[in-house]
Amino acid sequence: MTELLTAAQMRAVEHSAIESGAVTGLELMERAGQGVVDAIFAQWPEFVGSADVERGPAPAPPRYLRPEEGRTRRAVVLCGPGNNGGDGFVVARLLREAGWAVEVFLYGDAEALPPDARVNYERWAEVGAVQRLCFPKPSEDDEEKVSHLLRGATTDVTLCVDALFGTGLTRPLFGLKDFFDACYLAYAANLGDDGPYVVAVDLPSGLCADSGRIIGDDLGLAVGAHLTVTFAFAKHGHVLSSGGVSAARLVTVPLGIDRSLPYRVLHHKRNENGTLYIDHSTTVKMAERQWFEAGYVSDLPWTSKDPREASHKYSHGHALILSGGVGKGGAARMAARGALRIGAGAVTVGCPPSALIENAAQLNAVMLRRVPGADALSEVLTDKRINALCLGPGLGTGAREADLVRAALTAGRGLVLDADALTLLSQDADLFALLHNKCVLTPHGGEFARLFPGIAEKLDAPALTGPAYSKVDAARAAAQQAGCTVLFKGPDTVIADPSGRCSVNAAVYDRSAPWLATAGAGDVLAGFITGLMARGFAPMHAAEVGAWLHVECARAFGPGLIAEDLPEALPGVLRDLEK
């Protein structure tokens, strides 16, 4: 699990590190610039050894500083008016020391640069020129000059470093549209050897660090970088919304800030009276492999070596998945298989009598019950061993199904509500009011908008200023409104509970699995979560682990995946985790 920060949290971490006397702002900026240069050379080893034709190598340089081949590579560094620009001046200086020919542009007023950025501007100015771009509105000439440098075939620039704006962007960028278009084209076309690589310092400029949305997204700006290098912690905006597709790769370089320090800063805040209080709601986590390595393995059901725990199938819970009528049972059957594979001791599909034969023909390890309506469901639920339910996949949206959802909600058990059940909830305020803290809602964007129209409207409104309203904000508000866990799907799946706890299961960068967008994948996810709840996982934890494993299964299978493959990929994923 990786901690994701907001821009304000990152500033607090930085201030606290500086105030503690452990490091100066200038040192942090130097480390940031050095981190960017290191990441560039790690990403493109072929850049290693560019010759410094004018100056010769520095004394005892690292490997990439040594001259090779006698070639000079060319870089363009675009520096903005704040500390992101300051990082850019450091990168420019270090690239020059590594033998690169570097052109530096300043979009801002040198006299108004913040102190550390100003120092690095001056350090650069001692060795190189700075070309000014009209600020705040670049001239047409400026736009043409900058974007020309990026047009692959017509330039010998190898690298474009975007140090215009980072976490401080709060207003739309009205100028430099041509530049952004050129950056995006270079990125999208992956021009490689024919054109410049774009490296974003901290964030691709234009992106809101908190929401991952492009500030002023109605301006038609698109941002893109081959590599983003961020500092100390990834930010929400790196994985949410456009942020997750704004760069091919994200590298986080440590700044040497003690990890214990940020945690104290993160969780302790002062209110207006200056009183210190603990703010748990500031923790946002991104699920990834380290999550399990960091201790969650002991929570997973499959790792138990205790023979008493494995003694009886019902000690591993019993999940009930309700299916729709004849010809509509596929979704529930896939959810049931997911629940069984993920470790529920027993799984039963409940269906209308007319669908019994169809289901019986297709189910083996999964059991089958007649559930004609709500009364029958209440009768089935007198069996207290049934501890988790799933309603929605292929269920239908008629009066019978609304009654089933009501009966399931009043039973007070672990309950995953997906697909048709979400439609029913959005149509009936009384039903919505029955939601309780053992429920998990799993809406995609359309379902979310029907369930939470006011919240969706805020999320869909153009992001005109930063920090913009984010999917994290939306999921948290929805969880509070519903009084239960909400898993808001997407490549940036956000999971929140009413306490404000929030996780992002980001299937982006090297964890992306676009083939997961396939019919029925959501049904399997609902089944995974239900199975985990049957095993005794709390709703939030079940949603987090289920979503994480869902993506891992898709990644393990690869392209060509169909929903049925997901439960079958699970044993391999679990085996790998145990290794």
Question: Is 445 annotated to bind ligand?
Answer: no
The residues that bridge with 488 in the sheet, in sequence order, are 494
- Which positions touch ligand NAX (CB under 6 A)? 10-11, 14, 28-29, 32, 80-87, 114, 136, 165-173, 201-202, 231
Distances (CA, A) of 337 to 319, 350, 374, 554, 568: 11, 14, 24, 16, 9
Residue closest to K ion (Cβ): 205
Stretch that binds K ion, among 204-212, 214-222, 389-397, 503-511 (CB under 5 A): 204-212
The annotation status of 156 as a binding-site residue, yes or no, is no
Stretch 259-278: interaction string toward K ion, x if CB under 5 A:
--------------------
Residue 247 or 377 with smaller CB distance to K ion? 247
Q: What is the largest CA-CA distance in the chain?
A: 86
DSSP state letters, 137-158: S--HHHHHHHHHHH-GGG--EE
The one-letter code for the residue type at 8 is A
- Both tokens of residue 426? 């959005």
Is 493 marked within a binding site?
A: yes
CB 471 → ligand NAX: shortest distance, Å?
21
Q: Which amino acid is at 357?
A: I
- Restricting to residues 148-187, name those near K ion by CB under 5 A: 162
Minimum CB distance to ligand NAX smaller for 32 or for 554: 32
Least Å from the CB of residue 118 to ligand NAX: 11
Q: Could you tell me how many residues make up the chain?
A: 579
Residue 32 site contact among ligand NAX, K ion, none (CB < 5 to 8 Å, cut-off depends on kind):
ligand NAX
CB atoms within 10 A of CB 279: 13
The rounded distance, in Å, linking the Cα atoms of 579 and 565 is 22
Least distance from ligand NAX to the Cβ atom of residue 42, Å? 19
Q: Is 80 exposed, middle or buried (0-12, 13-18, 19+ CB in 10 A)?
A: buried
Query: Do residues 61 and 145 make contact, with C-beta atoms less than 8 angstroms apart?
Result: no
Q: Which is nearer to ligand NAX, 50 or 83 (CB)?
A: 83
444 known member of a binding site? yes
Of 81, 99, 80, the closest CA to residue 159 belongs to 99
What's the alpha-carbon Rg for the chain, to the nearest Å?
27
Question: Which of 143, 210, 129, 130 lies closest to 173 in space, CA to CA?
Answer: 143
Q: Is 572 annotated as a binding residue?
A: no
Q: How far is the CB of 78 from ligand NAX (least distance, A)?
A: 12
Cβ-based nearer residue to ligand NAX, 90 or 409: 90
Residue 162 binding: pick among ligand NAX, K ion, none (C-beta 5-8 Å cut-off by kind): K ion
**Alpha carbons 206 and 466: distance in angstroms, whole number:** 10
- Hey, how many other C-beta atoms are within 10 angstroms of the C-beta on 22? 13
Residue ranges of the binding site for (6S)-NADPHX: 83-87, 166-172, 202, 331, 394, 444, 523
Show binding-site residues for K(+). 84, 162, 205
Binding site for K ion (CB under 5 A): 162, 200-201, 205
- Annotated binding-site residues read 83-87, 162, 166-172, 202, 205, 331, 394, 444, 489-493, 522-523
